């Protein structure tokens, strides 16, 4: 299989031995990580001095203000109504999820089949009320919804997004929209003018190789208050992640990754017989790809019973960052 051959080539090129390659091949296509773009990496290495970032009293505000316009200038997607919300820095999008769980402890949290694993793992382990749903009509008053847009399992916009948000508004169901993939996707148009939308979460972790710096931005209604917002109000946030985030977004626009990799992404997906998605790093594999999907990951999280709900989402990050090495395979 060409995919396996390519995976071995890339791993061997990294200097891994047979055993290491064999281990790494298993998860080669099941990841979900940003492209290690050389220009971005070089720029990250020139990040401001840590002490100066910590001592900069205006850093958080500058990052928050810049982030909003950074998102709004995206050429490939639209996100209307973001100005209705108030930004506060978040440790990736994860902190936004946790804050949402804390703010709605009595709600039954619902997720569409195939939603981000983190929610499922947290809810299961905390023994809190949750369930998968297949249709928005399964949502009713007393529920809360977390929905990734683009959808985590497919990389595409969730079907019937407008209807979902209309229904949630009618039923007074608070919604967190997880837009972590927004800046690595194209053709995504989101209208945030729905009363049900409680939180909009962004992250830089999938866009730039800064996942371990935990850089995200949460948008909530101006009147809302919780621990995360309190920290923001009293200027007690993580200035280092804000500083790194600001350093990056001042140099690279929010559509940088899509602009740079879109053509190659389509070539790779086509060559491998995958269905391209709206999200740059993901494509959908047929049943031939079942051994490359997230089955092992789900098992590692103790979610093997849920694997039937997840698609063979194939991550192409490793391929996109090895364009030179892939050249010979692409020309075959």
Partner 1 sequence: MTRFEFHFKNINNVGAKVPLIEIRINDSNIYKGQVKDQIVAEAMTSGENKLEIAFVNKSNRDTIVNTQGDIVNDLNFELDRLVIDNIDIEHLIWDSHYQHVGGKIDGCLFFGPPGSFILEFEAPVLRWILKTNHEKNNNDPEWEEDYNYYTEAWNKIHKK
Does 323 help bind partner 1 (rule: CB under 8 A)?
no
> What is the chain's Cα-based Rg?
20
Residue 288 lies near partner 1 (rule: CB under 8 A):
no
Which residue's CB is nearer to partner 1, number 216 or number 293?
293
Q: Does 38 bind partner 1 (CB under 8 A)?
A: no
Which of 2, 4, 134, 163 forms a contact with partner 1 (CB under 8 A)? 4
If binding is defined by CB under 8 A, does position 22 make contact with partner 1? yes
Please state, in angstroms and rounded to a whole number, the distance separating the CA atoms of residues 322 and 7.
10
Measured CA to CA, the distance from residue 262 to residue 9 in angstroms comes to 23
Q: Does 236 bind partner 1 (CB under 8 A)?
A: no
Cβ distance to partner 1 smaller for residue 141 or 324: 324
Q: Among 21-29, 147-155, 275-283, 315-323, which window interacts with partner 1 (CB under 8 A)?
A: 21-29
Residue 329 interacts with partner 1 (CB under 8 A): yes or no: no
What the block records as the tokens of 94 is 């994860």
Residue closer to partner 1, measured from CB, 15 or 127: 15
Is residue 9 within the footprint of partner 1 (CB under 8 A)? yes
Query: Among residues 13 and 58, whose Cβ is nearest to partner 1?
Result: 13
Dihedral over Cα of 139, 140, 144, 149: its sign: positive
CB 286 within 8 A of CB 312: yes
Among the listed ranges 4-12, 53-61, 65-73, 313-321, the one in contact with partner 1 (CB under 8 A) is 4-12
13 lies in the binding site for partner 1 (CB under 8 A): yes
Nearer to partner 1, 4 or 221 (CB): 4
Give the DSSP per-residue string, 44-101: HTTPPPHHHHHH-TTHHHHHHHHHHHHHHT-SS-EEETGGGEEEEEESTTHHHHHHHH
Which burial class, exposed, middle or buried, applies to 287 when counting CB atoms under 10 A from its CB (0-12, 13-18, 19+)?
Answer: exposed
Residues 6+ apart with CB under 8 A from 47: 243, 244, 247
Contact present, 146 and 115 (Cβ < 8 Å) = yes
Q: Tell me if 332 contacts partner 1 by CB under 8 A.
A: no
Binding site for partner 1 (CB under 8 A): 4-5, 8-9, 11-13, 17-18, 21-22, 25
């Amino acid at each position: 299989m060409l995919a396996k051959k390519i995976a071995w080539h890339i791993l061997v090129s990294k200097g891994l031995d047979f055993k290491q390659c064999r281990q790494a091949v298993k998860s080669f296509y099941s990841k979900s990580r940003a492209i290690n773009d050389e220009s971005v990496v070089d720029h990250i290495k020139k990040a401001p001095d840590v002490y100066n970032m910590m001592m900069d009293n205006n850093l958080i505000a500058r990052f928050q203000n810049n982030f909003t316009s950074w998102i709004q200038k995206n050429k490939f997607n639209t996100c209307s109504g973001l100005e209705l919300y108030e930004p506060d820095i978040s440790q990736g999008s994860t902190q936004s999820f946790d804050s949402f769980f804390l703010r709605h402890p009595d709600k039954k949290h619902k997720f569409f089949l195939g939603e981000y694993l983190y929610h499922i793992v947290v809810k299961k382990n905390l023994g809190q009320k949750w369930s998968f749903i297949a249709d928005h009509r399964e949502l009713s008053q007393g529920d809360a919804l977390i929905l990734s847009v683009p959808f985590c399992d497919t990389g595409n916009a969730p079907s019937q997004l407008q209807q979902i948000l209309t229904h949630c508004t009618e039923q007074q169901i608070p919604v967190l929209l997880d837009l972590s993939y927004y800046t690595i996707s194209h053709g995504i148009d989101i209208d945030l003018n729905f009363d049900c939308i409680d939180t909009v979460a962004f992250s830089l972790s999938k866009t730039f190789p800064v996942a371990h710096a935990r850089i995200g931005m949460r948008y909530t209604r101006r009147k809302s208050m919780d621990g995360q917002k309190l920290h923001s109000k009293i200027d007690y946030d993580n200035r280092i992640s804000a500083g790194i985030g600001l350093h990056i977004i001042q140099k690279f626009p929010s559509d940088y990754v899509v602009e740079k990799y879109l053509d190659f992404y389509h070539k790779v997906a086509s060559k491998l017989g995958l269905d391209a998605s709206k999200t740059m790093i993901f494509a959908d594999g047929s049943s031939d790809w079942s051994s490359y999907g997230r089955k092992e990951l789900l098992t590692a999280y103790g979610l093997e019973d849920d694997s039937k709900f997840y698609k063979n989402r194939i991550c192409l990050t490793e391929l996109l960052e090895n364009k030179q090495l892939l050249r010979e395979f692409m020309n075959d």
